[in-house]
Structure 1
Amino acid sequence: MHLSARHIPIMATTFVVAMCLAACGGKKEQKPSTLAKIACDESFEYIMEQEINVYEYIYPKEDVLAYYLPENQVVDSIMAMGSVKGAVISRPLTEKEVSYLRSNKKIVHQQKIAVDALALIVNPENPVEILSKKDIAEILSGEVTRWDQVEPCKLGDIDVIFDHKESSSVKYMSDSILGGKPFGAHVSAVKSNPDVFKAVAENRNAIGIIGVSWISSDLTGRQKSVEELAEAVEKSDTTTLEFKNDVKVLKIRGNNEVTAYKPYQAYIFDGSYPLYRSVYMVSTAPGGTVTHRFYSFVTGFQGQKIIQMTGILPATVRPRMVEVE
């Protein structure tokens, strides 16, 4: 069975985070040699759930326990050098962080596993189809607060919805789009990525910022069984990506570009879609452990194929097909 600890409160220090991880959701009488504990940025939860499900199906005697946290807490958990020895974040560990771990006799492995895209979603009743990076910056900063300032329409005040106030999505938009400037008063955060989707589906004035894997059609239609996923990762074909129809995915263009793009894999791959970021996996576990074997699985062909099937771009398996309008 696969256990997940999804509702861990925000902690202020590395020590408290480590204590919380050690106390939460452990398997009773679980042999340490068959259990891996990893911490994962909440934005990548859907991706990692698929990886864990298939891994545990292929290796039924091994289990992976995942904690889904804001990114800074994920880094804290791996730096605490406790029972959590794997991490999934939107950046590599810094030289200082790696040096600290190595000074404490930890072997550090880290590798880019994917290129993720941030999708901007609106209610289907919203007539807006395209935003530029400049438009996004003006909306996030509060320079633009109403939809009729973007495009003539009858909609009212813009509600910007993030997944979590400390998420990597917030950090990306703050650093890459606003250049560190503060968000406007109309920007808020909910508790999770599904809550972003729900808020936008129910509020025609909302715009949500969410990882692209959360809006693939697989999340609303019939879910693939673990058996189907395990079979699919052995094949070299790719599948066409579609998005949910409960919300509308906006096309985005760079400030000096004419053409706008949706976050399909091929457009993420060639850089046409401008809102993208890397995803890294880190392991401090020694070889022969479940954590290191899971790290090898995710960074290998099978794990990369699973990432491809979630809608984002794997680091090593290249897309061959894209659904275009």
Structure 2
Amino acid sequence: MNNKRKFLAYLLVGIMVFSVVFIFTGCKQASQKEAAQEAKITMNGSTTVFPIAQKAAEVYMNKHPNVKISVEGTGSGNGIAALIDGTTDIANASREIKPEEIEKAKAKGVNPYETKIALDAIAIIVNPANPITNLTKQQVIDIFTGKITNWKDLGWKDTPIVVVSRDTSSGTYGTFMELVMPHGAQITDKATFQSSSQALKNTVATTEGAIGYVGLGYLDSQVKAVAYEGIMPSKETVVNHTYKLSRFLYMYTNGEPKGEVKNFIDFVLSPEGQDIVESVGFIRIK
């Protein structure tokens, strides 16, 4: 009887040990499978593209719980530099990649691949207290180079003009310089330079004599867009090519996008993704 009890006890212990090992092995395999299925995407770059990227990432992650997407808005130049250095999967940019950036990328074995995701326009903005409604190209040049320094010279009151610009790593800065400023011209050294579109907008919104420039997605009642050469920035004037400060917005990858990165960019270009583009104030391309 004692031998039988011992046998049953050994059998019970054996079953318990086997069960623990089986459960542990099963959990480990499930954990490994889950880890294998999880994908991470990093995006870095343009603060203009940031609202599109952030909203699209939120919606995409809700649809795909195993995908984790991080988004940073550090400026187009910084995003492209991160792509070249291999520290980001997607570089968001509000300008085309420069030839010298392509050369630097190829020297490091990186092949920048361009995907257009939206249309945008650069809007010249002033404080809502400013009654000015239109500026010519020459007036904008004279303001930003420091030739005109007081609003009284443009028909308003005796108020100093506070020039607010994006910093030089910004794609919006690069596009503004390309489309507005004469070759070789420099923005006045008295300007205030901001590292993001939101910071620039906030400065203009809280400074009576300020003037700056942002993408369409940053326009709201806090600031006032003025006509440029008699044309207001809008979806209609960008699409019909009457507003001259329009541009594409981009996502750059190392070679043609693959795997989950491709799936995400395809989502941005899908009808739902393009609805997101419009919902944050930009213009769909599809």
In the alignment, what sits opposite 2:22?
none
Amino acid in structure 1 at the alignment position of 2:95: R
Q: Distance in 2 between matches of 1:43 and 1:269?
A: 19
Change (3 A) 1:116 1:248: same
In the alignment, what sits opposite 1:228?
none
- Report % sequence identity: 22
* 41, 47, 66: which one aligns with 2:46: 41
Q: Distance in 1 between matches of 2:265 and 2:132?
A: 41
Instruction: Give the alignment of 1:296-307 within 5 angstroms.
Output: 296-307=266-277
RMSD between aligned residues: 2.7
Instruction: Give the alignment of 1:277-296 within 5 angstroms.
Output: 277-284=247-254, 289-296=259-266
How far is 1:174 from its partner? 2.1
* 214, 239, 252: which one aligns with 1:210: 214
* 173, 176, 180: which one aligns with 1:173: 176
**SS of corresponding position for 2:159:** coil
How far is 1:46 from its partner? 1.7
Q: Distance in 1 between matches of 2:108 and 2:160?
A: 52
Q: Distance in 1 between matches of 2:136 and 2:263?
A: 42
How far is 1:103 from its partner? 8.0
How far is 1:181 from its partner? 0.7
Change (3 A) 1:79 1:157: same
Change (3 A) 1:30 1:69: farther
Mind listing any 5+ residue stretches in structure 1 that lack a counterpart?
1-28, 216-243, 254-259, 317-325
Which string of whole-angstrom CA distances, capped at 9 and with x for unpartnered residues, describes residues 210-239 of structure 1?
A: 111012xxxxxxxxxxxxxxxxxxxxxxxx
How far is 1:62 from its partner? 0.9
In the alignment, what sits opposite 2:138?
134
Change (3 A) 1:184 1:107: closer
In the alignment, what sits opposite 1:312?
282
Is residue 76–residue 91 contact of structure 2 (8 Å, CA) maintained in 1? no
Q: Distance in 1 between matches of 2:109 and 2:171?
A: 29
- Extract structure 1 runs of 4+ deviating beyond 3 A: 29-33, 91-109, 285-288
Q: Distance in 2 between matches of 1:70 and 1:287?
A: 21
In the alignment, what sits opposite 1:73?
78
Change (3 A) 1:160 1:32: farther
Change (3 A) 1:100 1:248: closer
Q: Distance in 2 between matches of 1:116 and 1:52?
A: 20
Is residue 52–residue 64 contact of structure 1 (8 Å, CA) maintained in 2? yes
Range moving further from structure 2, 132-141 or 284-293: 284-293
Range moving further from structure 2, 176-185 or 277-286: 277-286
Change (3 A) 1:92 1:170: closer
Q: Distance in 2 between matches of 1:165 and 1:64?
A: 27
Q: Distance in 2 between matches of 1:287 and 1:78?
A: 13
Q: Distance in 2 between matches of 1:302 and 1:45?
A: 17
Instruction: Give the alignment of 1:1-325 within 5 angstroms.
Output: 33-80=38-85, 82-93=86-97, 109-151=113-155, 153-179=156-182, 180-215=184-219, 244-253=220-229, 260-284=230-254, 289-316=259-286
Change (3 A) 1:107 1:32: farther
Is residue 126–residue 224 contact of structure 2 (8 Å, CA) maintained in 1? yes
How far is 1:209 from its partner? 1.2
TM-score, length of structure 1 as denominator length: 0.69
How far is 1:106 from its partner? 5.8
Q: Distance in 2 between matches of 1:43 and 1:126?
A: 25
Q: Distance in 2 between matches of 1:197 and 1:312?
A: 16
Change (3 A) 1:283 1:191: closer
Question: For this pair of structures, how many residues does the alignment match?
Answer: 252
Amino acid in structure 2 at the alignment position of 1:159: V
Amino acid in structure 2 at the alignment position of 1:203: T
**SS of corresponding position for 1:313:** coil
Q: Distance in 2 between matches of 1:182 and 1:107?
A: 32
Range moving further from structure 2, 97-106 or 140-149: 97-106
Is residue 33–residue 289 contact of structure 1 (8 Å, CA) maintained in 2? no
